Amino acid sequence: MTLSGKDMSNRLLFLFLTFFVNLFSVSHAADIKNNNLIISGSKAINLDNWELVDVPPKLIQTKVPENIFAVVGGQMRVVGEINPDTGFYAYSPNGDYNALQFGNDFAYVKNTQISKKKPRNIPEDDRLNDLKNPVYDYLITSQKTPVYSATDENSRQIASLWENLRYPVLARMIKTDEDGDKTSWLTIRIGDRLGYVRLDDVAIDKGIPILTYHHILKDSENKNFRHTSTTTSVEAFREQMNYLKEMGYQTLSLDDVEGYLNKSANLPGRAVVLTFDDGLKSVYRYALPILRENQQQATLFVISARIKTQPQKWDPDSLQFMSKQEIKESQDVFHIQSHTHFLHRLDNRNNPIIFSRKEHTIMLDFKRSMKALAKFERDQRYLAYPFGAYNQTAIEAAKEAGLHIAVSTIQGKVKLGDNPYALKRLYAYSTDPISKFALMVGNSEQDVVNKNVVVDK
């Protein structure tokens, strides 16, 4: 068989990734070599002809209630429990672990815990109905949550979901019992079979908050930016970040947000994304140490044309930009992404200049910025529009440039089904009490936003 260069590259990449995750990640402990196949989850590569093939699932059941592990927000953790005498479909049955479908990805159970008894058959409807119901929402668990075999609390409990999970939902239904009492149920999929969760046991996901920051200053040195609401005091920023840490919020990357929107990644329930626009020196001076101490990550949207060759002497009375050295030193915390190159300007009518530019011109600016920033972070996929300004022309330019996500300054949370090139964000003021900040980042019934934001121009 003759392979094209692209096909060979794809297969070599598959082999490399399989080898890599075997060495460095328990999350893919089920990747094994089986005769002439290298198996990874539901996919394998045949070493005889270098073909990628599907691995058929095998029906399994555990001996006792058994914990399952999965990667959630990039971290391996216990995510639930599957019950004995319950059949689930799994992959890679000859390795140390079995991989079974869990949410948007896989979970793993030790091979030694698999019963040798013939597994309980799964009704054929459980394998077919989920195909008719694509994921349309997420639920959030706040406690150990039972998963039933039917929309009946007296039905067999097939599994449990652990707390602090976002889990994809296939359908929602209301069941009325003999007494006329109504119960809302959510349909999910686990181990390639259907399960049912009471709505009263969980919360419906209200979206992921992406917080926006620009300029960070001590109150005592802030003389020129007191009336710009996008300038945050060091004291308020520290209080907000400490709150997130103390309450168990995980700071996500935009890779995680992309996986959330694409239904390809499992994420925690308590989650937030931190973003900083412009690439200001004050962020390096004040925000970076706080984030580093709290082990929190963030995305730094840099105006690439304003990166300084050498660090500037600190001056709190002006807007200063980070240097190449400062950006490099911050990469243990910040993901470096684009805030355009020359488009962060206003025209003579005080409107964002991006509105007067043609699609091709905008696209070239995006690509120029991406190329400049690739020196710091090779994978350039995300953009913050200048001043949050965008239109359909800018969206098309972002797509043409190869960007995957673009964020605006329209306020709100990111929800499943949102346009990835027009994602909303949130502003927390220095004057906001921590109780308001808690509502803003929490899974509250309605978005808590700050209006009339005045941006540092």
CA distance 277 to 215: 8
pLDDT of residue 172: 94
Is a pLDDT exceeding 60 seen at residue 152?
Answer: yes
**CATH number, domain at 277?**
3.20.20.370
Asked if residue 341 is part of any domain, the answer here is yes
Band of pLDDT at residue 85, cut at 50, 70 and 90 = confident
* 296 and 323 share one domain: yes
Q: What's the pLDDT at 30?
A: 40
Q: Band of the pLDDT at 72, cuts 50, 70, 90?
A: very high
Burial of 13 (0-12, 13-18, 19+ CB in 10 A): exposed
Tell me: do 195 and 271 sit in the same domain: no
| 8 and 115 housed in the same domain | no
179 and 50 in a common domain = no
In a shared domain, residues 49 and 137:
no
Is residue 334 a part of any domain in this protein? yes
Long-range contacts: 67-71, Cβ < 8 Å, 24+? 67/109, 68/100, 68/102, 68/107, 68/108, 68/109, 69/26, 69/27, 69/107, 69/108, 69/109, 70/27, 70/102, 70/103, 70/105, 70/106, 70/107, 70/108, 70/266, 71/25, 71/27, 71/105, 71/266
On whether residue 457 sits in a domain, the answer given is no
Buried b (16+ CB within 10 A) or exposed e, 25-57: eebbbbbbeeeebbbbbbebbeeeebeeeebeb
Its domain, for residue 347, covers: 210-441
Domain-embedded: residue 155: yes
**333 and 189 in a common domain:** no
Residue 435 identity (one-letter amino acid): S
Based on the structure, what is the number of domains in the chain? 3
Please, how many CA atoms are within 13 Å of residue 397, restricted to the half-sphere of its CB?
A: 23
Instruction: Write the CB contacts of 153 (distance below 8 Å, at least 6 apart in sequence).
Output: 183, 198
Tell me the pLDDT tens digit for each residue of 263-299.
999 999 999 999 999 999 999 999 999 999 999 999 9
Tens digits of residue pLDDT in 293-343: 999 999 999 999 999 999 999 999 999 999 999 999 999 999 999 999 999
| Predicted confidence band of residue 179 (pLDDT cuts 50, 70, 90) | confident
Tell me the pLDDT tens digit for each residue of 6-53: 444 444 444 444 444 443 333 333 444 444 545 555 565 655 656 666
Q: Are residues 278 and 198 in the same domain?
A: no
Q: Which of 205, 230, 259 is the last residue of a domain?
A: 205
Q: 90 and 224: one domain?
A: no
